[in-house]
Structure 1
Amino acid sequence: MNIVKRNGQVEELIFSKLKKVIDFACVGYPQCDSLELETALLPHFRNNISTKEIQSTLIRVSVEKTTAEEPDWQFVAAKLHVYDLYKEAAVHRKYGYFGYGDFYSLITYLTDKGLYGKYILEHYTREEIRELGNYIVPERDYLFNYIGIKTLSDRYIIRGLQGETLELPQELFMGVAMHLAMKEKDKLHWARKFYDALSSLRMTVATPTLANARKPFHQLSSCFIDTVPDNLWGIYNTDMSFAQVSKFGGGMGIYVGKVRSRGSAIRGYKGAAGGVIPWIKNYNNTAIAVDQLGVRSGAVAVYLDVWHKDIFDFLNLKTNNGDDRMKAHDIFPGVCIPDLFMKTVQERGSWYLFDPHEIRTTMGFSIEDSYGEEFERRYAECVNNPALSRDEVPAIDIMKKLLASSFETGTPFVFYRDTVNRANPNKHKGTIYCSNLCTEICQNMSAAELVSVTSDDGIITSQVKAGDFVVCNLSSINLGRNLTKEEIAETVAVQMRMMDNVIDLNHYPSKQAEITNQKYRAVGLGSSGYHQWLAHHRIAWETDEHLTAADELYEWINYCAIKASMELAEEKGSYSQFEGSEWQTGEYFTRREYVSEEWKQLQSDVASKGLRNAWLFAIAPTGSTSLISGSTAGIDPIFAKFWVEEKKNAVIPQTAPNLSPENTWFYKEAHHIDQLWSIKAAGRRQRHIDQSQSFNLYVTPTISAKEFLDLYMAAWENGLKTVYYCRNKSLEVEDCVSCSA
């Protein structure tokens, strides 16, 4: 029987060679019998079958054999997939042998083809690149499970214009590491450090960083947030910013709470304003139109305050009932809620809806610029001023509408604005109006302002005063591979440096974003593998032991992050707004009751040496990157111990990480967990997180209205800053890819 090789040559099938490949794939997995693969392959043989088809069949059979009882077949499939990548790369790069080719030759080739940024060759010599190429550890390709290596190879490795394999996994990791290290004084040292952390799957970088680092258009940040002012220029300026962000693969959060409501006056003409919905529909259309070269639609969350007159229309944006002209089905709505509203819901009192434009012109202030006691005082002034128009509604009616939308669509996201702003360590420089697309980012915001437009000899010049246009630079520690305090400390220090370097290396889609990022140097350290970490330590989800563990674990991660940022400040300087911040005054530490000697020393060090980054800690959902690292997503419990992931042209069985008879009872599935335990754990974590966490609620169709309401009340009472999706078991919601870290 003959076979057709990848280079087109025909030769006789030598079964012993094939057996070597199968044995190689099964080594290390005693549960997986190589004979089973050989037997399953036999019916597929025919004369002139291609080696590519043989390999694909082996992979498919291994994937299909993956079960909760025999999870190791997914690693066998992964090794076979890696073998396939090696063969493909050898053919397309023409180096003619199995495994990795010359790294320097690859980089020069990809640079010549315009697939690699020229800056890599400008910052590294041939000898340095070859030294780093020799540092690559090919065996780390065998750390992946099948969906991990398939996700990495399908989405992230560099391919030719015809989809041919050019870059291999470890070359990807080294390329990213080299990019992020290239301006370090000892760039080879840090490139190796970054590579080790990435390639050993101890951490992941954000999806845009993994996809775009080393490439010509290296937009490395995940998510952006803009504030829309109440004028036509500002509304469309945000739309243009969103288009640019979406073009380069980022997601967007947009705050529209300053925009006048439907029926408000324009230049004194009463009833002329159309409200926020028409503008939101514009952003919806931009999300569809700017679709990243057809890869996926843009992603945008739009936030509105619960006191805004348009709140009921806003809560109907994605529901299936009502006037379709008032819908924006591709938008992810979020509601900004003050403490006073939650208290009014508890008391079943009346709530008043206002027009922000009318408040500004009548009262002389913008109520959204305040929080806490000041907000409550200003809100009372508005209620007591008969000159202001308002809609009076029972607060519980708004909450019912919010809950109905959440149950039906998974949204709106919820942003507890007073909790956020009270905990803001940089409140001396601004207000936080809303969060981002995945609800983990909370940073100072302000709108841009058009100063002037001039023309000279046919050249039109616009002068714009930049606002605080929030940028999210993300990375997540994989708790499934950092099981000790020492491992966590080492990995976090590397991550903080990597994220800080992103700020200076980024190709920004908006000049405003660059200005803000340089001003605050904010980063978002997150975590994946949380449920995996609990299962490894045999900690059940619905226990006080879990709450204590969450508290201690995230306090330690926070300590490591602050210490690393302080050391970076000592080396490279503090962020420009450090003076007067709660980091500098020490209020950040006392507010969280960090009173141990270790914490007191760190507080003193921060006060004297500074801090490199204004915000440090934000837990993203890590949907796609946790697949690569083989960990559980973000801080979520597992959806199931065994499930089938539907990917493009593939159905892939998956199991919980390291699933075994010993840990299976500690992998309780999300929809079977009492959500109050999840809320309590999130509250314990939140104390240590200066931004927020992508926290999901998991409910079933049988939940009562009171139970559902109680979950949102409990989230507020336990100090959560945001609530992400409500994941109803009967509802499919789409994760944000951009924020995956």
Structure 2
Amino acid sequence: MQLSTPSAQPAAVPPATKPAAPAAESKAVYNDHKIIRRNGSVVSFEPGKISVALTKAFLAVNGGQGAASARVRELVEQLTGQVVNALVRRQPSGGTVHIEDIQDQVELALMRSGEHDVARAYVLYREKRAQQRALMHTDASQPTLHVTDNGRRVPLDPAHLHSVIEAACVGLTEFVSVDGIFKETVKNLYDGVPVDEIFKSAILAARSQLEKDPAYSTVTARLLLHTIRKEVLGEEVEQSAMEERYAEYFPTFIARGIEGGLLNPELAKFDLDRIGKALDDKRDLQFTYLGLQTLYDRYFLHIEGKRLELPQAFFMRVAMGLAIAEKDRETRAIEFYNILSSFDFMSSTPTLFNSGTLHSQLSSCYLTTVADNLEGIYDAIKENALLAKYAGGLGNDWTPVRALRSHIKGTNGESQGVVPFLKVVNDTAVAVNQGGKRKGAVCTYLETWHLDIEEFLELRKNTGDERRRTHDMNTANWIPDLFMKRVMEGADWTLFSPSDTPDLHDLVGKDFEAAYLGYENKTQTGELKLFKKMPALNLWRKMLSMLFETGHPWITFKDPCNIRSPQQHVGVVHSSNLCTEITLNTNDSEIAVCNLGSVNLVAHLTTGADGKVTLDHDKLKRTIDIAMRMLDNVIDINYYAVDKARNSNARHRPVGLGIMGFQDSLHIMRVPYASQDAVSFADTSMEAVCYYAYLASTRLAEERGAYQSFKGSLWDQGILPKDSVQLLRDARGGYVDVDDSETLDWNALRTRIKAHGMRNSNCVAIAPTATISNIIGVSACIEPTYQNLYVKSNLSGEFTIVNDYLVRDLKKLGLWDEVMVADLKYFDGSLAKIDRVPAEMRQLYATAFEVEPSWLVECASRRQKWIDQSQSLNIYMAGASGKKLDETYKLAWQRGLKTTYYLRTMGATSAEKSTGRGGELNAVANASSAANSAASGQPGLPEAEILGAACTMRPGDPGFEECEACQ
């Protein structure tokens, strides 16, 4: 390996100035890393040569004495370590690196260190050497590279390689460079390279250009698709031939899947010729790189690591699994396939994993209530493991379990409370990792009056007794309205053990309030001895402080979940699920189940003759009609690991239709998230989705019959979800401020439901969609833009994410260039401080932390009035303070929200800049306001609490998508 270096000084470096190899260097570490030289030869990776090259660069600028100084020697060693770490981090398992990539890293290291004169000399020398090489090779024939294919050594066919890249760029040449990808691909090849490595090189070459234009993501996906086709079909097949090949391959795929013990033999009974001809090969071209790589890594069926599925076969396999019990199976399967493969609708991850397989566990969420006895507790933990095994996400209600120090009659001892058992729940979730596809995931709920609530709040802390910490489990507060009233009014709050107050668990609204006051009276008379009394505001502050510090427990509200529940006549909603969007009844004999899928709003926008972008109601109605049928089918064909889940699902038949692409839709409509227009769109779009979902369910009831427990439900009483807002107002006696406007004919829907009933007790819930929105390449559910440029990490690796809409706008203004990319990186994907971008555009593309959380709550409130369940609502907050947290979550309660999800704070998610002193961005941006609010008597957190270490997870970090069981 030889690096280009300025040679103003003698090439030989005096022994005194020659730096030692970095401490990290060892032959064992670098044996698997090789360097590709410019002539295509491959040599060993020797980090010591980087040190020599750096030293020569300093010699050229500073002279022999300067380069021999202790400071320079130390700096060279540090810079060498940075370069080596950067290269090894890219390929931790070994691989080849082109020599120019090393030189690029050397340049970056010199510039980052502030050694600009040395960096400039190094850059100029590289350019001079490049010119000399160009002159030398002007008339010289380029060396012929050979590839290894099935043990044979043959010359590389550059024309074929170029044609493959060209095919991947079809329709995108306005944004991407075919020749640029080709040159970068060839640059990274070496003589004797295995043929498969050639296309991997092409994928990496296209992927490396993503910052230039998001269209390179599509090109990368198509190049990846080329390699997938070869793996599945056994040979290279051009895209132009895939229409015919899909039809030929599909019956073979079904046969191989059945033979390999993966697919349900019933799939072979379909008319596979008809099904195969329905596959649309052109839909393979719509993937982004992140979407296709995610499918390849985690969703496509495989035998011993070799994939069996191509993308359209995957979608059809899912569709056939969902249509397996239909009368006209082929017609329905093709109908289901069309909305999946066109990205109009996407089923949740468990459905995509398991539909059509021998273990068709297709449901996303399971909600359980834990009984207050040892047998019930360990039955619940066992049920968690069984349900998680096939990708179910779990929500556990632990409120019935007696508190610490409460009496145990059977042993005449004292209870250890809830927390020790939660440690077992936590470890079970880690142990059952869903076949290695992802870790098990569970959320535990506890009501705010439980005597163990204070210790429960601290479960995710990084300090304290590790035996009483649960770092891998989610937690949530299940808060009754009476507690919030006491917070608002500055009153006291009393904690009880459920063994002394067993009815509180099943009471809501005014009934809960009456019983609670009765128990408080018993503490005054001495009838009830185990309790704790405190100011409600103190407990509220601790809730918010722990939420800020650890991201848990989440804030969820018991009474709106129950008072507005269509199923309040048959039971109580005791908790939500893993992602806080499901609100279904549970008890000792029923485990609530919900299967999910989401409509892609972007695919249902239409542009009128006046240029105005609106929802296409006709298409939306068609999509939802088909989607609701798919979701309803899951209930009957689902694999149930636990009988209590099967019985509950058959009786109530709940489903959860959600949305995704809300932020993308706003971009297309040119509407900022922080605006009244966005609130209005949240209102009208959710009204339409809910209207068509409820309409589809009553149409299914007309065809298939109403669900068993329909009689007596709010549906049966003619009370639709929006009408139930008034029930909440009546129960609270105030504290409800929700907009009542509507645009569709809800009276006609009431009449239809009265005539035919409902097929599903619950129909709508907005799940996070983190993974399925990646698959189809739109913004997740109702989330604002996290950053306009960032690196996303998940189980498939790291992916550069660029806001496509922003890039198109900046290109029109002539502002998209390397400087803009550098600025976006420096400012964490934000345009706010880039003055050359017009103010209107900065507002339109404001990132999550630039949108005041009140706008997120207002949009959510408009949605919530239509939804019969709930929504996964992350709260993003820049400059978090006690006062701001207090105001935001009180606003959520007053606006009628049922649940909230993660709190994301700027202090937790800002990366430190390499040029900073370190630590500046770890501080809370507006901590002083917390102290000021406390000093002024305003409800808020003390400064000492708000300055805790905030939750460190952010979109893209491992664990952020831990709730993708809901997607």
Q: TM-score range by the shorter chain?
A: over 0.9
After TM superposition, the structure 1 = structure 2 runs for residues 97-246 of structure 1, keeping only pairs within 5 Å, are 100=246, 101-121=248-268, 123-124=269-270, 128-161=271-304, 163-246=305-388
**Which position in structure 2 is the counterpart of 1:49?**
193
**Residue-by-residue CA offset, 1:286-343 (whole Å, 9 max, x unaligned):** 1122222344331110000100000011001011122222112111111110111111
Report the CA distance between 1:256 and its aligned residue.
0.7
**Residue-by-residue CA offset, 1:67-100 (whole Å, 9 max, x unaligned):** 2x51111111111111111111121899998753
Asked if 1:678 is matched to 2:856, the reply is: yes
Amino acid at match of 2:857: I
Report the CA distance between 1:740 and its aligned residue.
4.0
Distance 2:466 2:408 in 1: 26
Provide closer, same or farther for how the CA distance between residues 254 and 89 of structure 1 changes in structure 2, counting only shifts above 3 A.
same
**Which position in structure 2 is the counterpart of 1:704?**
881
Provide closer, same or farther for how the CA distance between residues 620 and 8 of structure 1 changes in structure 2, counting only shifts above 3 A.
farther
Do the aligned partners of 2:214 and 2:804 also contact (CA within 8 Å) in 1? no
**Residue-by-residue CA offset, 1:135-174 (whole Å, 9 max, x unaligned):** 101110111110011001111011121x112210100000
Do the aligned partners of 1:250 and 1:738 also contact (CA within 8 Å) in 2? no
Do the aligned partners of 1:219 and 1:507 also contact (CA within 8 Å) in 2? yes
Do the aligned partners of 1:207 and 1:739 also contact (CA within 8 Å) in 2? yes
**Residue-by-residue CA offset, 1:97-141 (whole Å, 9 max, x unaligned):** 8753521111111111112122212x42xxx11110111011101
After TM superposition, the structure 1 = structure 2 runs for residues 424-435 of structure 1, keeping only pairs within 5 Å, are 424-435=565-576
> Which of these two proteins has the greater Rg computed from alpha carbons?
2
Do the aligned partners of 2:226 and 2:238 also contact (CA within 8 Å) in 1? no
After TM superposition, the structure 1 = structure 2 runs for residues 722-741 of structure 1, keeping only pairs within 5 Å, are 722-729=899-906, 730=908, 731-732=952-953, 734-741=960-967
Asked if 1:335 is matched to 2:477, the reply is: yes
Report the CA distance between 1:51 and its aligned residue.
2.5
Do the aligned partners of 2:770 and 2:964 also contact (CA within 8 Å) in 1? no
Do the aligned partners of 1:594 and 1:600 also contact (CA within 8 Å) in 2? no
Distance 1:286 1:268 in 2: 27
Do the aligned partners of 1:437 and 1:736 also contact (CA within 8 Å) in 2? no
Distance 2:657 2:301 in 1: 26
Root mean square deviation of aligned Cα = 2.1
Do the aligned partners of 2:661 and 2:778 also contact (CA within 8 Å) in 1? yes
Amino acid at match of 1:116: L
Do the aligned partners of 2:578 and 2:966 also contact (CA within 8 Å) in 1? no
**Residue-by-residue CA offset, 1:412-470 (whole Å, 9 max, x unaligned):** 122201111111011111110110000000011111xxxxxxxxxxxxxxxxxxx2211
Report the CA distance between 1:597 and its aligned residue.
7.4
Distance 1:369 1:86 in 2: 56
Structure 1 gaps, min length 5: 361-365, 448-466
Asked if 1:603 is matched to 2:746, the reply is: no
After TM superposition, the structure 1 = structure 2 runs for residues 387-406 of structure 1, keeping only pairs within 5 Å, are 387-389=527-529, 390-406=531-547
Secondary structure of 2:303's counterpart equals: coil
Do the aligned partners of 1:263 and 1:270 also contact (CA within 8 Å) in 2? no
Secondary structure of 1:429's counterpart equals: coil
**Which position in structure 1 is the counterpart of 2:799?**
652
Q: Given the alignment, which residue of 482, 498, 503 partners 1:356?
A: 498
Distance 1:143 1:658 in 2: 16
Secondary structure of 2:213's counterpart equals: coil
Distance 1:146 1:245 in 2: 32
**Residue-by-residue CA offset, 1:30-58 (whole Å, 9 max, x unaligned):** 11011111221232233222221111111
Once the two structures are overlaid, the 10-residue window that deviates more, 302-311 or 23-32, is 23-32
Secondary structure of 2:358's counterpart equals: coil
Do the aligned partners of 1:223 and 1:738 also contact (CA within 8 Å) in 2? no
Distance 2:622 2:151 in 1: 48
Distance 1:80 1:63 in 2: 10
Q: Given the alignment, which residue of 466, 469, 482 partners 2:591?
A: 469
Distance 1:658 1:142 in 2: 19
Secondary structure of 1:587's counterpart equals: coil
Q: Given the alignment, which residue of 584, 601, 608 partners 1:479?
A: 601
Provide closer, same or farther for how the CA distance between residues 358 and 740 of structure 1 changes in structure 2, counting only shifts above 3 A.
closer
Distance 2:856 2:238 in 1: 52
Once the two structures are overlaid, the 10-residue window that deviates more, 709-718 or 324-333, is 324-333
**Which position in structure 1 is the counterpart of 2:511?**
374
Asked if 1:58 is matched to 2:202, the reply is: yes
**Which position in structure 1 is the counterpart of 2:466?**
324
Structure 2 gaps, min length 5: 1-143, 606-615, 726-739, 811-840, 909-951, 954-958
Greater relative CO, 1 or 2 (CA 8 Å, sep 6+):
1
Amino acid at match of 2:960: E
Amino acid at match of 2:629: R
Amino acid at match of 1:291: N
Do the aligned partners of 1:228 and 1:258 also contact (CA within 8 Å) in 2? yes
After TM superposition, the structure 1 = structure 2 runs for residues 571-610 of structure 1, keeping only pairs within 5 Å, are 571-588=703-720, 590-591=723-724, 598-610=745-757
Amino acid at match of 1:527: I
Asked if 1:90 is matched to 2:233, the reply is: yes
Asked if 1:77 is matched to 2:220, the reply is: yes
**Which position in structure 1 is the counterpart of 2:427?**
285
After TM superposition, the structure 1 = structure 2 runs for residues 533-682 of structure 1, keeping only pairs within 5 Å, are 533-588=665-720, 590-591=723-724, 598-648=745-795, 650-662=797-809, 665=842, 666-682=844-860
Provide closer, same or farther for how the CA distance between residues 94 and 661 of structure 1 changes in structure 2, counting only shifts above 3 A.
closer
Report the CA distance between 1:14 and its aligned residue.
2.1
Distance 1:658 1:5 in 2: 42
Secondary structure of 2:633's counterpart equals: helix
**Which position in structure 2 is the counterpart of 1:688?**
866
Do the aligned partners of 2:393 and 2:966 also contact (CA within 8 Å) in 1? no
**Residue-by-residue CA offset, 1:504-560 (whole Å, 9 max, x unaligned):** 111112111111111011000011111111111111111111111111110111000
**Residue-by-residue CA offset, 1:667-705 (whole Å, 9 max, x unaligned):** 3211111000100110010001100000001123x3111
Provide closer, same or farther for how the CA distance between residues 5 and 554 of structure 1 changes in structure 2, counting only shifts above 3 A.
farther
Do the aligned partners of 1:316 and 1:405 also contact (CA within 8 Å) in 2? yes
Report the CA distance between 1:269 and its aligned residue.
6.6
Distance 1:317 1:596 in 2: 45
Amino acid at match of 2:398: V
Amino acid at match of 1:327: R
Distance 1:95 1:707 in 2: 57
Report the CA distance between 1:565 and its aligned residue.
0.5
Provide closer, same or farther for how the CA distance between residues 544 and 236 of structure 1 changes in structure 2, counting only shifts above 3 A.
same
Distance 1:597 1:52 in 2: 56
Amino acid at match of 2:756: K
Do the aligned partners of 2:229 and 2:237 also contact (CA within 8 Å) in 1? no
Secondary structure of 2:400's counterpart equals: coil
**Which position in structure 2 is the counterpart of 1:250?**
392
Report the CA distance between 1:3 and its aligned residue.
4.4
**Which position in structure 2 is the counterpart of 1:15?**
158
Asked if 1:505 is matched to 2:637, the reply is: yes
Report the CA distance between 1:344 and its aligned residue.
1.1
Report the CA distance between 1:60 and its aligned residue.
0.9
Once the two structures are overlaid, the 10-residue window that deviates more, 520-529 or 598-607, is 598-607
Do the aligned partners of 2:768 and 2:964 also contact (CA within 8 Å) in 1? no
Provide closer, same or farther for how the CA distance between residues 152 and 562 of structure 1 changes in structure 2, counting only shifts above 3 A.
same
Amino acid at match of 1:675: P
Amino acid at match of 1:65: Q
Secondary structure of 2:407's counterpart equals: coil
Secondary structure of 1:293's counterpart equals: helix
Relative to the length of structure 1, the TM-score reads 0.93
Distance 1:253 1:439 in 2: 9
Do the aligned partners of 2:321 and 2:357 also contact (CA within 8 Å) in 1? no
Do the aligned partners of 1:262 and 1:271 also contact (CA within 8 Å) in 2? no
Provide closer, same or farther for how the CA distance between residues 508 and 54 of structure 1 changes in structure 2, counting only shifts above 3 A.
same
